[in-house]
Amino acid sequence: MVILRLVQADAALSQSLRHMCDMKSWLAPQGYRNGKTTSYSNGGLGPPGGLIKSATSFRDELGRSKPSKEGLRKSIRALLVDGGAEFFVALDDAGDFVGFIQQRYRYSIWSSGLEACIEDLYVAPESRRRRVGSKLVEYAVNHAQAKNCRSIAVDTNELNEPAILLYSRRGFSSGSSRFPGGKQHGLKGRYS
């Protein structure tokens, strides 16, 4: 298994390359063959099809019908272009997607520095219980530390016991560093 950080390049490739939409369009072949864990770009072609397929499977497992596949594609591309989020993907030995993490970044006045948040973690059902999620979380944490993030948070549901167990094994807890003794709550409102 190899874990990659997807990077959206500004320069577009030639029109003849626009048909590429699977992970292989994002990879430098020698890098993958050597099993490197590094950053790759597809030259501005948009998110790879494997990531879209994984995000669609994640949506379906949550019992949702929205956003559409095209909506997911546009959103992932916007996040990659914006620079406030990164996607780390896990590929098996055949180069197929087996999971991904979306990690977001923001500057905080409370820590006077950059903070990270793991917003999405998905592992394909056939690849679960094989440490794929653990390796993705480890990679995301290491990447946040390399960016000098002051903290890293996780956005998960309290009913998702496997995810809570995974995160707690990596040192995450529901306590608050800003308010000792209290728990953080992710409250959301709907405006549309």
DSSP letter (8 states) at residue 175? B
Q: Which candidate, 112, 94, 114, places its Cα nearest to that of 104?
A: 114
pLDDT above 60: residue 12:
no
**For strand 97-108 and strand 85-91, is the pairing parallel, antiparallel, or unpaired?**
antiparallel
Per-domain boundaries in the chain: 2-169
Q: In which band, very low, low, confident or very high, does the pLDDT at 52 lie, cut at 50, 70 and 90? A: confident
pTM: 0.74
More confident residue, 20 or 166: 166
Q: In this predicted structure, what is the pLDDT of residue 173?
A: 81
Q: In this predicted structure, what is the pLDDT of residue 16?
A: 24
pLDDT above 80: residue 152:
yes
What's the full length of the chain, in residues? 192
Cα separation values, 38 from 4, 5, 41, 88, 183, Å: 5, 6, 10, 10, 35
Q: In which band, very low, low, confident or very high, does the pLDDT at 180 lie, cut at 50, 70 and 90? A: low
Q: In this predicted structure, what is the pLDDT of residue 42?
A: 42
Contact in structure between 121 and 155 (CB atoms under 8 Å): no
Cα separation values, 5 from 88, 157, 173, 192, Å: 5, 25, 26, 32
Q: Which candidate, 74, 157, 90, 154, places its Cα nearest to that of 128?
A: 90
How confident is the model over 112-145, as pLDDT tens digits? 999 999 999 999 999 998 899 999 999 999 999 9
Cα–Cα distance, 73 to 181 (Å, whole number): 40
In CATH, the architecture of 2-169 is 3-Layer(aba) Sandwich (3.40)
